[in-house]
Amino acid sequence: MFFTCKQVSEHLSKEDYAKLPPFRKFTLIFHVMFCPICGKYNRQVMKFQDMARKFRKQEEDFLESDSPNFPSMDTSAKDRLKASLEQAQATESPQSGS
Amino acid sequence: MAEQDPHETFETHLWVDKYGDYLYRYALMRVRDPQVAEDTVQETFLAALKNLHQFDGRVDVKYWLRGILRNKTVDYIRKSVRRQELQNEQVQEIVGQILFKTSGIPNKRPKPWAFDPDEAFAQEEFWEAFKACLEGLSDQMRTAFYMKMIDEVETEEICKELDISDNYLWVMLHRARAQLKDCLELKWAKS
Ligand SMILES: [Zn+2]
């Protein structure tokens, strides 16, 4: 019925509490709200969620960037890649009638 | 109306120039080895060409390609990690320790951050440090962290794709967080 700290920390760590049935979820939130230990642990896990969300945005900027300071495929690698794609395309879709 | 050649509609001849670097960087962040990154990007393009008919247009081609690439990098990590880093008994032991630490001793709470995270998040250099710390994790830990935290893949799906148990993933994530925190404090708190 009610959660022990052990069960709470397990749910928080695995971040699977969103899938709990509504009443169970409510009891968990209630426990976290009033238990100082679980509350603190929860804040730490949430900080990482927050960090990951912000990092996702940063990563997208990094992937999209035109800056030469970031790693990119060199021209010869790109040419090889283009050649292999062309070859694959030629075998994938042979021109009908020719 | 004549049916269009899908390759033409998708402008596949422009893929390398349009998405090459984007995908290469994405792969590099996850597998770290430049050659492997290049190979997985190539495999991705080839797989995409073969499955053009499966593309439903609900997302941008770029994200569709990225999704294929994600699976390729996870495949690579699963195969390259020959042996799990931890044995099952160790996993049980660590699970016990985590529980003990978080709930066993009332006054032994997780240590607060040595710096103000919110302030750090606003600075670009912090994310450089974060990226470097992510790279420092073991392949399996980094992959687990990426899948769970960045790609938001369901727990069961991660366990299936990495071929690990629920508890094993939990331990990986817990350790990844702890290691990242230590690394960030070393790299960031001092500056
Ligand atoms: Zn508690």
pLDDT per position as a tens digit, B100-139: 565 544 444 556 778 888 888 888 889 999 999 999 999 9
Tell me how close the Cα of A98 comes to any Cα of chain B, in angstroms: 15
Give the pLDDT band of residue A67 (cuts 50, 70, 90).
Answer: confident
- Can you tell me the distance from the alpha carbon of B129 to that of B186, in angstroms, rounded to the nearest whole number? 10
Comparison of pLDDT for B170 and B91, the residue scoring more: B170
CB crowding B37-74: b at 16 or more within 10 Å, else e: bbebbbbbbbebbeebeeeeeeeebeebbbebbbebbb
pLDDT per position as a tens digit, A1-29: 678 887 887 788 777 787 889 999 999 99
Give the pLDDT band of residue B76 (cuts 50, 70, 90).
Answer: very high
CA B60 → CA A43, A57, B19, B49, B57, distances in Å? 35, 17, 11, 15, 7
Architecture of the domain whose range is B88-187: Orthogonal Bundle (1.10)
ipTM: 0.78
How far apart are the CA of A73 and the centre of ligand 1, in A?
A: 50
Q: Which of A41, A51, A84 sits opposite B110 (nearest CB)?
A: A41
- Can you tell me the distance from the alpha carbon of B60 to that of B117, in angstroms, rounded to the nearest whole number? 33
Question: In chain A, what are the domain boundaries?
Answer: 1-65
pTM recorded for the entire structure: 0.82
Question: In chain B, what are the domain boundaries?
Answer: 11-83, 88-187
**Phi and psi of B15, rounded to 5°?**
-55, -50
Tell me how close the Cα of A25 comes to any Cα of chain B, in angstroms: 18
- pLDDT of res. B83: 62
Looking at CATH, the fold of the domain delimited by B11-83 is given as: Rna Polymerase Sigma Factor; Chain: A (1.10.1740)
Dihedral through CA B103, CA B155, CA B138, CA B189, nearest 10? -50
Comparison of pLDDT for A6 and B88, the residue scoring more: A6
Asked whether the beta carbons of B104 and B187 are under 8 A apart, the reply is: no
Task: Find, in chain B, the residue whose alpha carbon is nearest to that of A7.
Answer: B99
CB crowding B94-118: b at 16 or more within 10 Å, else e: bbeebbeebbeeeeebbeebeeebe
Quick check: A81 and B117 CB within 8 A? no
Q: Is the pLDDT of residue B172 over 60?
A: yes
Quick check: A51 and B110 CB within 8 A? no
- The closest of B34, B30, B43 to B150, measured between CA atoms, is B30
- pLDDT of res. B7: 67
